Amino acid sequence: MSDSTKIGRTLLHTRRRMSDESFITLLVASVAVGLFLFASILVPNFFQLQNMLNLVTNNWAVISLGVGVTFLLVSGNFDLSVGGIVALSGVLAVWFSQSAGGGSALSTGLGFPYWLAVIGALGGALAIGALNALFVVRFRIPSIIVTLGTMMLARGFAQVITQGSQRNTNLPDVFGMLGNLTVFGASVKLPVVLMVILLVIAVFIEKKTVFGRLTYWIGANAVAARLSGIDKDRHVTYLYLFSSAIAGIVGILLASEFKSGYSNRGTLMEFDALVIALLGGVAIAGGFGSVVGMFFGALILAVVTSAATGLVLSPDWQYILKAIAVFVAILTQTWALARRNR
């Protein structure tokens, strides 16, 4: 009956079985690989190492946001504010860095040193995260409503600061460094490396720490979690701060890459982050899903959209293709899980 006797004593009831979560992650990964191979047959020059890398590196921002969104979804909460935070923190970083006394309003900033501007921008991002936590945790308002509100609030602030336009003049040279720094011999940008580090840390937290397990318990049954002594309010607060910090850094890096603060940056990114999490098997009701699954979900979306633009289809078709990918993926997962647990 037992096959794991490695941990000191014989375990009698431990016939291990692959968890549904590993099963779904494996399924999502195989779909991503399968789609890639399929696209390689259809699209000339698709099957190249550089192309594979591009699928990941072009999507570093959404994948990074997906980490925070995934943790929150697993805990049973939405975060639709990440796109707005990307815009806000980018605009703030620019505004704080622009030297005081420029020619026009849009070229005049606060003249902070860059490090202070970054901290200030992060502070703005965390403020939105704290607002999310406040309304969700303290006032018990459904997270989808709260973060829909803060999504507009964050973007609204960005819009006011940029007066509906862009801020891109009067910036110190150091501003453009972080986002354009390359490592490993000019082939990989720093943000991509940061994304990889973030993924590794997130997987560690999710699988190996008590913090990660708390997230699943809260998402699986919040009432039982409270009656088991878990401080759900504090945990969800941490998750919102964590997610908004990631979004803040993404915004700062994007602003640096383009050397501009633009209030429409990151538009619809919150939905892309949600979509890749769902594609990756994260349950919208909470308690189920993984960061690795979300990563492969992002690959599915990337393959579908990039293959489409490589095909005869015009880029206008990409939303339709995304929609088809979402429906097919979710149906497959539901069907496969039901079959497995029959």
Q: Which residues pair with 166 in a beta bridge?
A: 262
**CA distances from residue 301 to 32, 56, 79, 278, 291 in whole angstroms, order as listed:** 9, 11, 20, 11, 15
Residues 6+ apart with CB under 8 A from 155: 83, 84, 87, 88, 263, 267
Q: Is 187 in the site for another protein (CB under 8 A)?
A: no
Coil, helix or strand for 283? coil
**Stretch near another protein under the rule CB under 8 A, chosen from 9-17, 72-80, 256-264, 302-310:** 9-17
Picking from 212, 210, 211, 232, the residue whose alpha carbon sits closest to that of residue 223 is 232
Q: Report 312-341 residues binding another protein (CB under 8 A).
A: 341
**Stretch near another protein under the rule CB under 8 A, chosen from 1-9, 113-121, 248-256, 314-322:** 1-9
Select from 84, 251, 287, 289 the one that contacts another protein (CB under 8 A): 287
Nearer residue to another protein within complex by CB, 140 or 314 = 140
Select from 45, 104, 228, 314 the one that contacts another protein (CB under 8 A): 228
CB of 275 to another protein, least distance (A): 23
Q: Is 235 in the site for another protein (CB under 8 A)?
A: no
Angle, CA 316 vertex, CA 276 and CA 166 arms, to 5°: 80
Coil, helix or strand for 129? helix
How far apart (Å, rounded) are the C-alpha atoms in residues 153 and 51? 37
**Stretch near another protein under the rule CB under 8 A, chosen from 216-224, 238-246, 297-305, 314-322:** 216-224
Q: Is 175 in the site for another protein (CB under 8 A)?
A: no
**Stretch near another protein under the rule CB under 8 A, chosen from 13-21, 99-107, 242-250, 322-330:** 13-21
Nearer residue to another protein within complex by CB, 187 or 209 = 209
Q: Report 44-63 residues binding another protein (CB under 8 A).
A: none
Select from 41, 105, 227, 312 the one that contacts another protein (CB under 8 A): 227
Q: Is 19 in the site for another protein (CB under 8 A)?
A: yes
Q: Is 209 in the site for another protein (CB under 8 A)?
A: yes
Q: Which residue has the tokens 């570093």?
A: 60
**CA distances from residue 218 to 167, 173, 224, 235, 249 in whole angstroms, order as listed:** 42, 46, 8, 9, 27
182-183 and 166-167 strand pairing: unpaired
Chain residues in the site for another protein (CB under 8 A):
4, 7-9, 11-17, 19-20, 207-214, 216-217, 220-221, 223-231, 287-288, 341
